[in-house]
């Protein structure tokens, strides 16, 4: 479902990304997590076209980023981001909340990122397309309450996938940009609203086209990110957002990575 608003039109804050650029604040309940898998000792020569499926070779990395402002808010992660090289399944779950306090807005933005880093490779000179395809299965819960007109409260969730290729020889990075697979916004400016939905078998593919050079060494990254945002304006307002993509059957499966 797109980021649509029930009732009145309410402003949408710019989407944030907590990828390679980094993040400004880490709260106690959310930590930077790095878990390494098995990496090849030397770059592998790849043919002009190849498809990778689980089990994958390479490394995994999990990152949690938080930005918050105001005096009554918080965030937590019940399942820290991870990627399983054997199964190709990424898992991550979290929630955040914001309540009105004082004369300023209370906001929280959370980014949960699970990364797969493929083994370094070399290939032929020319234009190449690298595509990572994910299958998403997650549950989302949002709530927003506002007690007066024009006292906005909102909660949103989105899931994005990104593919990157980095030239280890000269430092050039090629990126697909974020492909939004799920994006929902719940906003209230007088009243109480709730939203809960399970997204099953959502296909999300991110492709990057890069002019690669024979003799250079490249790294491939495929990442899936869950973004949670909550905001409450001054008044008696509150908002909560949560996404479970980490327990039971919930998760993001990297179905394939193709190089052509």
Report the relative pairing of strands 179-188 and 121-122 from DSSP bridges: unpaired
Question: How do residues 145-166 score in pLDDT, each as one tens digit?
Answer: 998 888 899 999 999 999 999 9
Q: Is residue 39 part of a domain?
A: no
222 DSSP β-pair partners: 116, 163
Do residues 4 and 185 lie in contact, with contact meaning Cβ atoms separated by under 8 Å? yes
Could you tell me how far CA 201 lies from the centroid of its own chain?
17
Total-model pTM: 0.84
Asked whether residue 8 is domain-assigned, the answer is: no
DSSP 181-193: EEEEEEEESSEEE
| pLDDT value for 121 | 87
What percent of the chain is predicted at pLDDT more than 90? 70
Q: What mean pLDDT comes out for the span 116-135?
A: 92
**Structural domain includes residue 122:** yes
Q: What local confidence, expressed as pLDDT, does residue 9 receive? A: 34
Is residue 27 pLDDT above 70, yes or no? no
34-57: per-residue pLDDT in tens?
444 444 446 766 665 788 899 999
98, part of any domain: yes
Q: How far apart are CA 33 and CA 36, in angstroms?
A: 10
pLDDT at res. 165: 94
Task: Identify the top-confidence range among 30-39, 114-123, 143-152, 161-170.
Answer: 161-170
pLDDT above 70 coverage of the chain, percent: 82
Which two structure tokens, joined as six digits, stand for 170? 């000269």
CB 3 within 8 A of CB 140: no
> Can you tell me the distance from the alpha carbon of 116 to that of 36, in angstroms, rounded to the nearest whole number?
10
Domains in the chain, number: 1
Q: What is the largest CA-CA distance in the chain?
A: 64
- Domain around 192: 44-259
Residue 25: inside a domain: no
């Amino acid at each position: 479902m797109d980021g649509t608003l029930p009732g009145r039109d309410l402003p949408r804050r710019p989407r944030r990304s907590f990828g390679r650029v980094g993040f400004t604040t880490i709260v106690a309940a959310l930590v930077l997590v790095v878990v390494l898998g098995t990496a090849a000792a030397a770059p592998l020569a790849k043919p002009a076209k190849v498809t990778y499926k689980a089990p994958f070779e390479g490394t995994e990395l999990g990152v949690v980023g938080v930005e918050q402002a105001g005096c009554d808010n918080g965030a937590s992660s019940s399942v820290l981001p991870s990627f399983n090289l054997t199964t190709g399944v990424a898992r991550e779950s979290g929630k955040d909340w914001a309540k009105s306090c004082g004369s300023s807005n209370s906001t929280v933005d959370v980014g949960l990122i699970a990364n797969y880093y493929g083994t370094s490779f070399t290939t032929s000179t020319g234009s190449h397309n690298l595509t990572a395809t994910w299958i998403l299965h997650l549950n989302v819960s949002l709530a927003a309450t506002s007690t007066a007109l024009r006292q906005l409260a909102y909660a949103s969730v989105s899931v994005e996938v990104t593919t990157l290729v980095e030239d280890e020889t000269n430092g050039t990075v090629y990126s697909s940009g974020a492909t939004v697979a799920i994006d929902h916004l719940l906003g209230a400016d007088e009243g109480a609203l709730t939203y809960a939905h399970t997204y099953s078998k959502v296909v999300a593919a991110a492709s990057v086209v890069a002019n690669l050079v024979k003799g250079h060494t490249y790294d491939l990254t495929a990442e899936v990110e869950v973004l949670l945002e909550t905001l409450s304006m001054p008044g008696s307002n509150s908002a909560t957002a949560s996404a479970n993509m980490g327990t039971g059957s919930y998760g993001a499966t990297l179905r394939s990575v193709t190089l052509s």
